[in-house]
Amino acid sequence: MSNFKKLAGQTAVYGLSSILGRSINFLMIIVYTAYLSKEAMGSFTSIYALIGFMNIVFTYGMETTFFRFSTGKNLDANKVYNTTQSLLITSTLLLGSGLYLLAPLLAEWLDYPGQAYLFRWTALILSFDAILAIPFARLRLENKALIFAGSKLFNIFLNIFFNLLLIIGFPYMISTGIIPEDFLGYRADWGVEYILLSNLFANGLIIPFVWWKAGFFQFRLEADIIKPMWSYSIPLLFMGLAGVTNELFSRFLFEYVLPPNFYAGLSAREAGGVFGANFKLAILMNLVIQAFKYAAEPFFFKQSADKNSPLFYAKVMHAFILFCTILMLAISVNLNWLGPLFFGQTGYEEGLFIVPVLLMGYLLLGVYFNLSIWFKITDQTKYSFWITLVGAVLTIAIIYVFVPIWGYFGAALSTITCYFVMCLLCFLYGQKYYPIPYQTGKGALYLIFSFSVSYLGFYLDFGDEIVNFFLKNSLILVYLGLIYLMEKDQITAYLSKSKKH
């Protein structure tokens, strides 16, 4: 239980920064949807999906590799850190330069004529992210959660400050005559440009601080360390690529697959903006999963040597499912007022019906992360590639087949389907090569029941807002009652044990 509490405590610290910071960042939906056009929102959705995909290429699984080789290969941790960081900086210079030079071609190919600067800034953002990855990973490995959390929060606050300054502050100061119209070359017609610039400035400014706190490195590329690390990380690279295909391609491909005039009065890019804004609502689930991942990944590796670790992993999975299904239900039954609260303009709420599906998709992604521990600690990362490849193929196939038919729902369907299949495959192979005593029956029941009730709660309408609020949220109590009935013996045993201590 002490290990379980320790993991929960570290998740809470990471969660506080992640949820607080990203919740504040999440509130930028209000700014973006109020001050930017739907077309700019579509550009934001598409370009940041590309950034998410390319981020995997730039880091190629080195964070997980760093954890594995720093904890379980009898290697000097400083040598691993120096080599990993040196390798990433070298590859980042090559990849970043290549993307920078290809920016004009990308702009034409993705239908952003004359806007090559967007992809040059994207190359710089990706480069800054990559050279921060291993220092941040070292902070997590050394349990410097407060420094990690503080750095992430500071980065987010800087990002938000620049967003507010460029999107709201400068236009206001120009309109009131405080600054001239061409102040610092300000462009009133820019939208997504200022989101990218804000990200770029914020990431660049924190590099010296994070490097200092993580410990400066000596540039060295030691072949005896690089070779086994490379063999371990390459499958993770392909796993990551397939994984972000599953997570991001529904947003990236949406505007290119949606037929013209599918939604009346909206271009394909504007419809992509509506889809992206509703996808942002589902990110509330991803905040919890990200916080859990920050704490769990290094913790799981350290725990792997314990003979009781399979039982520990099973308990963590069960607690994760319980917490996240409650969260999914709580968000879904309140979407009728949460959506309009966060959308600064009308028209975005027409996509709210996909949010419960996206929430369930993110929840299954978290389940997959828990399940995937077996191939990480047994060094069988090759299985990760094949599992996520199946998910990626499913994602792309469903997008191309169903988006032209069902629009927003077709894109959301790709998310939940691919993660369900990935979870199923990972579970089956995991039980074969590294059996973990998951409470499979209970877990499946909680997932199915909570998802069903989530959709029921979203569609229920009693005609009165106050009545709707109380009756919809009463479904949460129904679900908590089911959990109590199913977990009564464990709850009683835990309370009894706590009293003795």
Q: Tell me, what amino acid is at 149? A: A
Q: What is the tally of structural domains in the chain?
A: 1
Structural domain includes residue 470: no
Domain that holds residue 35: 2-459
Q: What is the mean pLDDT of the chain?
A: 84
3 has a pLDDT exceeding 70: no
pLDDT tens digit sequence for 390-421 = 888 898 899 999 999 999 999 999 989 989 99
Stated pTM of the model: 0.71
For range 466-493, the mean pLDDT: 88
Structural domain includes residue 225: yes
Structural domain includes residue 41: yes
Nearest alpha carbon to residue 272 among 142, 399, 133? 399
pLDDT at 22: 59
What whole-number distance in Å separates Cα of residue 414 and Cα of residue 424?
16
Structural domain includes residue 26: yes
Nearest alpha carbon to residue 88 among 180, 211, 1? 211
What whole-number distance in Å separates Cα of residue 427 and Cα of residue 432?
9
Return the biggest CA–CA distance within the chain.
71
pLDDT at 1: 47
Question: Could you tell me if 321 and 313 are in contact, meaning their C-beta atoms sit under 8 angstroms apart?
Answer: no
Half-sphere exposure of 111 (CA within 13 A, CB side): 10
Q: How far is CA 23 from the centre of its chain?
A: 13
DSSP state letter for 177 = T
Structural domain includes residue 159: yes
Structural domain includes residue 364: yes
Structural domain includes residue 70: yes
pLDDT at 247: 67
pLDDT tens digit sequence for 367-391 = 998 898 888 777 777 787 788 888 8
For range 89-115, the mean pLDDT: 93
159 has a pLDDT exceeding 80: yes
For range 11-22, the mean pLDDT: 58
pLDDT tens digit sequence for 279-316 = 878 877 877 777 677 666 666 666 666 677 888 889 88
Structural domain includes residue 481: no
pLDDT at 401: 95
Q: Identify the H or E element spanning 423.
A: helix 408-433
Of these ranges, 29-38, 267-276, 336-345, 484-493, the one predicted with the greatest mean pLDDT is 267-276
